[in-house]
Structure formats: C-alpha cells, structure tokens
Structure 1
C-alpha cells in the first residue's frame, strides 16, 4: 500500500511557481524546489520526472490560476465580472522583481513548444471568457450596441498583459489597483453612460 502524500501535487506546483517567480526558472533547481515544498529531490523526480516536466506542470497550474478567476467570476454586472476576474488573476503580493521572473517564465512559454501549447490554450480561454462577459454586457445594455465585442475582447486581453509590464516599470501602487485602473480605462469608451 503506497504511503499517503504529505504534500499535494497542487501545493508542490504552487510552491515551485512561487520559487520560479522569486529566482527565475533558469536558477530554479530540483534541490531548491524540494526545499521550497518540504520534500526531497528524489520525491519530486518520482512525481514529476525532470526539472523540465516539473516546470511545465507548474506552468500549467499557473495558467489555471490565471484563467479561472475570470471564467468563474460572479458579479451581477458582466463588465464588473471582467474587471474583478482580471484583478483576481494577479498575485496581490507581486513585486516588480517577481514580475521580472514571471517574464522569464513567459520566455519559456514563447520559446518552448510544450510551454507554448499550455500558454496558448490559457490565452484562448482568457479571451473567450472576456468575450463571453462582453456579450452578456451587450445584452444587459452595459456597452454600446455598436461595440465590436471580438475586437474589444482582444483589446482587454492585451491591456491585461500590458498592464503587468507597465506596473513593473512605473511601480505606482499595487498591481491589483494598477490592473483595475487599466481595465476600467479600456472599457470606458464602450460603456453606456447611465443618466
């Protein structure tokens, strides 16, 4: 009978992702990851195989944490579901230094085919969720009838990604506050103003 796991795979992957954001994926070692999550390197190898496989699994977990807040957003206003979902997708404790290491993870997502597949599926889900909420906002009369929902969804997605870099450069307030401000600004021209 196998021994029960003392640390879940989800907790391992969350810890590895946090470590990758602190030190960067290039400096992440199996030994450091094992220390981070309180397991032995042999246990990580047994569960995940290689460092590459461990990082890929952590990246997959990170994509879920990135996309689920907007997919599962619950708010009476569809536009507020977009704002709250995208703000909820960012780490409230993110630092500019951790953002730099997050960009290093993005390099893996862009350069390595396995990582790109995961990131692309996440990006498509993110945009689809934004578009879904925008369609609901159109039906609810929150945005103008003439709004191109598909184009606005692309703009909101691009704003989300760009806001993280802008915040890391300018370092004004928290990432969550910066994100909220940028998403609201991108939505503003399409909103139906209440009288």
Structure 2
C-alpha cells in the first residue's frame, strides 16, 4: 500500500526555494532543505531524484508564479504604467544593502552557464520584456531597443547601488529607469 503524501511536491518546492535562494547554489544540502521542511533527505531523493532536479523544479515553479504575477499587473500605457512594473519588481528588496540581493546574485552564474537555468532566465526576461513593451509610451527610439536598455538598467543599477548605496534600492533603480525612459521619449 502506498503511503499518502503529507506535503505536496509543489509545497516542498515553494518552501525550499527561499532556502536555496538564501544559501546560493553550493550553500545547501538536501539535508538542510529536509530539516527546514520537516522531511527526511531520503524523501526528497525519492520525490525528486537528486539535488539538481529539485533545484530546477523549484525555479521552474517560481517561473510559473512569475508568469501569474506578470499577468496580474495593472494594464496601461505610458511612462507611469511602465515605471509601475519596475517599481513592483524592485520592491521585494529592502532599503539597506541587502544580503538577499547578494544571495540573488549568486544564482546569476547558474542563469548564464547552466542550460536549464538559462532557459528559465530567458523565459522570465521574455515575459517581463513583453509586459514592458505593452506599456511603453511613444518613443523616438525603437521600443524593443528601449525595453532592452531598461532591462539592462534594471539589472545593473542594483549592483551599482549595492556597492555605493544611496537612498533606497527602489528609489535608486526608479531614478535610473526614469532617466533612460525620458532620454528615449519624444
């Protein structure tokens, strides 16, 4: 007789993701995750096969959450609507130099070098860029190019801010994005 699962795979992945994000790719074991969730490492192996599969599935599930977040964003067009998307994306980080931001950057290497993580990152970028393109005001530059410049600023400004913090991260990023958007506008 098969035992009934006390926690779904989806719940395990949701609860494991913050542990993984905080520790970075090499900073946790299946035993760490199992202990936090209240399962045995053997249960995780039985359900997911190995650590890499668990991590890939957790981030794939997070991409699904991200897609729902994107779909739920308010509609609109113009500078304010565009910047509202970026504000919502940056508000998860805190006002002081944030260890969470540094932890997040640990995963960037995986997004670049690992084919599965790279595909997940490209999918997130495509969803986010489509949301921006749908909201951009009239511009003198091609909208696709402006969206790429805004993406680059969104990803670069937090790193710059983390090294030389000035005000809150959200305010710093928003000021940078506003400047780029206004340079591209009519």
The answer as to 2:135 corresponding to 1:133 is: yes
What's the offset of the Cα at 1:74? 0.3
Whether the 8 Å contact between 1:70 and 1:84 is mirrored in structure 2 is: no
In 2, Cα distance between the equivalents of 1:55 and 1:91? 25
- Please name the residue that 2:114 is paired with: 112
1-structure distance, mates of 2:119, 2:155:
18
Q: Deviations over 1:70-110 (max 9, x none)?
A: 44320544433332222323462455322222222111111
**Alignment partner, residue 27 of structure 1:** 27
Query: Structure 1's 5 and 63: CA in aligned 2 closer, same or farther, altered over 3 A?
Result: same
User: Alpha-carbon deviation of 1:154?
Assistant: 0.6
Gapped regions of structure 1 (runs ≥ 5): 138-142
Matched, 1:180 2:182: no
Residues 96 and 123 (structure 1 numbering): CA distance in 2 closer, same or farther, change over 3 Å? Answer: same
Residues 161 and 172 in structure 2, CA contact (< 8 A), matched pair in contact too: yes
Gaps of 5+ in 2: none
**CA–CA separation in structure 2 for the residues paired with 1:158 and 1:92:** 19
Q: 1:150 to 1:166 in 2, by over 3 A?
A: same
Q: How does 1:4-23 map to 2 (within 5 A)?
A: 4-6=5-7, 8-23=8-23
| Residues 64 and 122 in structure 1, CA contact (< 8 A), matched pair in contact too | no
- After superposition, the CA RMSD in angstroms is 2.6
State the TM-score, normalizing by the size of structure 1.
0.77
Count how many residue pairs are aligned between Structure 1 and Structure 2.
183
| CA distance 1:88–1:14, shift in 2 (3 Å) | farther
Moved more, 49-58 or 34-43: 34-43
SS at match of 2:25: coil
Q: Distance in 2 between matches of 1:183 and 1:174?
A: 14
Counterparts of residues 56-67 of structure 1 (less than 5 Å) = 56-66=56-66
**Distance change (3 Å), C-alpha of 1:154 and 1:166:** same
TM-score (normalised: structure 2) = 0.80
Moved >6 Å (runs of 4+): none
Contact persistence 2:150–2:177 (CA under 8 A): yes
